[in-house]
Structure formats: structure tokens, C-alpha cells
Structure 1
Amino acid sequence: MISLRARLLFFIVRISGLKNYLLKPGRAEKFIARDHARGPALPVRWLRKHCDIEKAEIDGQPLYRLSPKENGNSLHIFYLHGGGYAFNIVSLHWHFIKKLIRRTGASVTVPIYPLSPENKWDSSYAMVMEAFEQAVSRYGAENIVVMGDSAGGGFSLGLSQMLRNHDKALPSKLVLLSPYLDKTAADPTQIELEKTDILISIEGIRRLGSWWMREGEDPAMFPASPLFAPVDGLPPMLVFAGTDEMLLADSLRLKQKGDEVGAQIELKLYDHMQHVWMLLPIPEAKTALDDIVEFLLAPKV
């Protein structure tokens, strides 16, 4: 049963009208311009106090490496933040990373990749690929878990598929949180899911996807839409989706593709949850974190 806190938070988001914000011509562009001018959020206070933080750059883009000062171990999380490929990392992401470090003792790499619409998928992937290869040289691929929320979840899958395609070292595991895997939003079930989703719309999915691609490119192409690429030969995967979110359709199709080829994909469905609920201050987020930590710390089979 959905918690009272989740009900209240989802109600506030619904009546705020945020879902339709990206649909108004001109307003979305101004909102993104303000976000880009403000820049990415910085690591929160707990991280600054309890972690050694190294800030580096790849082609002018920031890259953060965080290592706990106490009780660290060999586990390393390569985290790709969400935001439709257009919005900066925010404090909610850093607070979630804080929880991961507190619960697991892992070190973390956080690439602040180039954002759309100024940048397209190829420049974003190039930066993230270099960041991952640096992480492999420092921590070892066998110790790395690639994780991301929303667009970062799609990015995590696409990165792993690209590494596989180029015969490069793969991470040991993947964790995808409400992943954004398909820029076409053509799944027929999304027509009904749009009614229950308080944040994402079909038009919003397509618009965000178009900003990340060049004019004339197919929105179903790889790696922009990693759902349509093969999923065999990838590390074990833990995927989360809420039953009331638009991107449930992406996760269900990913699971079906994985089952057809024998891929190790565990799908966790949470009743009545909305997009990236695991980052929110609700009881259901703690339950999801428990599931994530169990997966992270379990020996690879």
C-alpha cells in the first residue's frame, strides 16, 4: 500500500503542473537556459565532510571522484544522473549518492556529461566512455557497478552495450532506476500510463529525445535508444520501475528482451510509484535502497 507521504508528495507534483512545463513553446527553452546558466549542483555537505573528493575534467566537463574517509572497500559505483539529457545534476542526486556510500562504503565516480540541446548524444557518450575507462584503470572493471536514474539509466545501458560492442572491459553489474530507454514513446501501453504519470508525457519523452539528437536522426537508433539494441552479453542487471510511470513500458520491454536471450535481468516493480521515486523522501525509497544495496553487495554469480 502506498504511504501517506508518497500520496501527499505525488499530489503536490500533480497539481503543480510540472508535467506540462516542457510542452509550452518557449517556456521550456527558457527553463533549460536558466538551468545551464546556474550549473550543476555541488556535492552536499555530508559528502564534503565524510569523503575525499577529487574534481577532474574531461574535455572541459567536470568529473567527481568520491572516496569515503572511513570504512571504504573495493566496490566502485559509476553513477550517471538523470534529467532527460538536458538538465543538470541536482541535490537529490547527491543525497542519493550519499546514501549509497553510507550503506555500502563504495567509492563513486560522477561524470557531469555534456547536456542537450547544445550537445548531442555522441559528445555525451564520448565523455562518459573516457570517464569509464579512467575508472577501470583506477578501480578495475570487476569492482565497478554502473548505475543511473531516468536518462542516466538509459545512458548506463547504452554505455554497457557500447563497451560490449567494442570488446572493452564491462562493469560487474548494472542498476537502472526508472530508465529512459526509448526516445520514440511508441509503445501503445504508454497512452494509458500517461494518465497516471504525474511528471512525464509522451510529447515530453519525444521532445527531450529530439534535443539530444541531430535533425533527421532516427529516434530508435542506437545508442540514443538503447532498448532497440541487443541485450545479450551484458552484466547482471537490476531494474526498477513504478507501475504508474510512463517509463514502465521501457523496463517491461527490456525485461522481455532479456528473457528471450537468457540475459540476467531482475525487474523490481513498485505499485503506484512514480518516476525515480527512489530518490524522493518517502518510505518506498528506503525499501528500494535496501534492494539496491543487497544487489550491490551480493557476490556475482
Structure 2
Amino acid sequence: MSNVDEHLDLSEINTVRQLLTSKPRPVGWDERRARLDEVGSVWPVADDIRCEDVVFDGLAGEWSLAPGCDRDKVLLFFHGGGYCSGSLKSHRRMVTEAGRAMGMRTLAIDYRRAPEHAFPAQHEDALTAWRFLTREGIAPDRIVAGGDSAGGNLTLCLAGRLRAAGERLPRCLWLVSPWTDLSMSGATLSSKDAIDPVIHRAYLEELAAAYVPHGVGRRDPLISPLFADLSGFPPVLIQVGSAEALLSDATRLAEAAGVADVKVRLEIWPHMIHAWPVWNAGLSAGRRALHSAGTFVREYL
């Protein structure tokens, strides 16, 4: 486990906090989606990044490539937003800079969202993206799968489904502020509630109710991968902030991975909030987190 605290500039994270709290919390799915797109795209993609739209098997996605990156290695990225919000737009700066740090092309996908599309639509879309990459000739051991929040959940579930089918897995997994327990049993949901500007129990309950169909248990491993058997999983990097309510979702996942003999690195970033690398353009800790992820990935690819 690593607790990263060097070169911390609290004024930067306070600026992001002000951005997130500058307006009343949105109400309804349309408002929430628009707000996440707004705050996630305050800083645009860097001028030297090349983005390209792609559609495959009815699923929309976006390639990105930074100068000098390897086109034959791919980060398959799943955005966060509680399975109900988030988009290619809200996470574009994060995924494109992650690709730069990892030295590879990225593919972000616009998977279906709840409540219009409940579980398992998102899992089906993740598998569709995986099949597309392999059809394109990208070998599994040249693919990194990753995401933030619900995207981290989806990353873990994709690996679990591939393993259950006896298929090859991504070379490694990258999880930022992963939402791993939809039963909401983590202690930090209470202890960090007052300092987390984004995630609160009532909000998570709404998201889970929209995503999980009636009759499906929230401790089902395909809903809450914290309770899955992680044996046989590839190396995992987990990055989480100390100021977020989902901290215990990350720390308990790291323990579960270790119990299953999975190589896991857990980084806890002091004072950082949920999915802070989204604001990497204005947040040096976000840039350093992406650099750390790049270093981790380069060890395996």
C-alpha cells in the first residue's frame, strides 16, 4: 500500500471542490448528466491529442492517441457516473491523458446507462468492446482495462466474466475510486460523508436502485465485485482519495485481491476526492496519479 502525499497543493483541490459545489446539487437524471458533463469538461483535451469516433456492433466509442504512443497497445476505459451518468465528454480529459501516461492508444465506450437500461446491459456493452478490440487484432496481453467509480466496477466485472468463460484476461487492471459494494456496507460511507463533496449514501441508493433490477441481490458478485472470487485476476492498481466516502470500497477490494493471491497496488492519496484525476489539467495530484498509473502499466506491457 502506498500513501502518496508529496508536493500536495491544497489550493488546487479546494478549487475543484468549489467547482463541484458552486451550484445546487442537480435533481433528476437529465440534470445530473448535464452537470457531470459540465464539470468534467471544464478543461478541454490537450491540443496534441487526436480523437476519433468509432461505432461497432451498435456501440459508440472514441479512440484517442497522444504523440509517440503505441497504437497496438490499448487502454479500454469505462467512465464513472454511478451507471446512470457520465459520458465520453465528461471523462475525455482523464482518459486521453491516461493514454499519454501509459504510452498507448485508448478506447472509451459510451455504454448504456440506467435507469433506461438496467443491469446487465452495461456488462454486455463491455464485452462487446472487448470483442471488438480482439477482432481488431489487439491481443489481450496488450490491453489494459480500467475505469473510475462505476467504471471500476464494470472493469472488475468484465474480468470476472472473461475468467468464467475461460478466456484470456487483460494484462492488468486500473481502478480509480472504484464503487465495489452496492450493498453500501463500507464504514467510510459514514465517516467520510461530511468531507466528500460528491458521494453520499442517499445518492448511491438512488443509483443502485436505478441500476439493479428487482429481485437481484446487491451482494451478487456481478453487482458488487467486492464479494467476487478474484483468484486468477491480473495485476491491479487501485487509486483512491482519503477524502472520499468510497475509500473503504477500495481498501476492502485490495484486501480481497491480496487474499486471492492477486498482485495488487493500493494508493491512497491524501485530501483527494472522488475520481480526482478527472480534473488533472488543473490538479497536479491528478497528473501525478496518472503518471503513477502509467508507471504501473509499463511494468506489465
Q: TM-score, normalised by structure 2?
A: 0.86
In 2: Cα distance, 1:79 partner to 1:112 partner: 10
Tell whether the 8 Å contact from 2:102 to 2:294 is kept in structure 1 after alignment.
yes
Specify the alignment match of 1:295 in structure 2: 296
| Matching residue of 1:193 | 192
Q: Is residue 2:3 matched to residue 1:5?
A: no
Paired residue for 1:87? 85
| Secondary structure, counterpart of 1:145 in structure 2 | strand
Q: Does 1:273 align with 2:279?
A: no
Give the structure 1 partner of residue 72 of structure 2. Answer: 74
**Contact 1:181 1:227 survives alignment (8 Å):** yes
Alignment of 1:36-51 (within 5 A): 46=46, 50-51=49-50
Q: Would the alpha carbon gap of residues 29 and 279 (structure 1) be closer, same or farther in structure 2, given more than 3 Å must change?
A: closer
Task: Report the alpha carbon displacement of residue 246 of structure 1 after superposing the two structures with TM.
Answer: 0.8
SS in 1 for 2:70: coil
Measured against aligned partners, the alpha-carbon deviations of 1:5-33 in whole angstroms (never above 9, x if no partner) come to: 33422541574465xx36xxxx2245257
CA 1:100–1:186: 2 relative to 1, 3 Å: closer
- Give structure 1 stretches of 5+ with no counterpart: none
Whether the 8 Å contact between 1:13 and 1:198 is mirrored in structure 2 is: no
Change (3 A) 1:35 1:6: closer
3-state SS of the aligned residue for 2:80? coil
**What is the DSSP-based 3-state SS (H/G/I as helix, E as strand, rest coil) of the residue aligned with 1:75?**
strand
**1:29-178 to 2 correspondences below 5 Å:** 29-32=29-32, 46=46, 50-51=49-50, 53-59=52-58, 61-67=59-65, 70-89=68-87, 91-138=89-136, 139-178=138-177
Larger RCO (CA under 8 A, 6+ residues apart): 2
Q: Deviations over 1:229-254 (max 9, x none)?
A: 11111000000011110111101111
Partner Cα separation in structure 2 for residue 250 and residue 265 of structure 1: 14
What is the RMSD of the two structures over their aligned residues, measured on CA atoms?
Answer: 2.7
Question: Unpaired segments of 5 or more residues in structure 2?
Answer: none
Q: Distance in 2 between matches of 1:16 and 1:45?
A: 23
1:75–1:144 Cα contact (<8 Å) kept: yes
Separation of aligned partners in 1, 2:30 and 2:250: 31
CA distance in 2: counterparts of 1:175 and 1:157, whole angstroms: 9
CA contact (8 A) 2:144 2:173 kept: yes
**How many residue pairs get matched?**
289
Distance in 2 (alpha carbons) for counterparts of 1:240 and 1:247: 11
Identical positions, percent:
22
- Secondary structure (helix, strand or coil) at the match of 1:74 reads strand
Structure-2 change in CA distance of 1:246 and 1:17 (3 Å): farther
| 2:255 paired residue number | 256
Distance 1:45 1:256 in 2: 35
- Secondary structure of the equivalent of 2:217? coil
Task: Please give the alpha-carbon distance, in whole angstroms, between the structure 1 residues aligned to 2:133 and 2:231.
Answer: 23
* TM norm structure 1: 0.86
Moved over 4 A (4+): 32-36, 44-47, 67-71
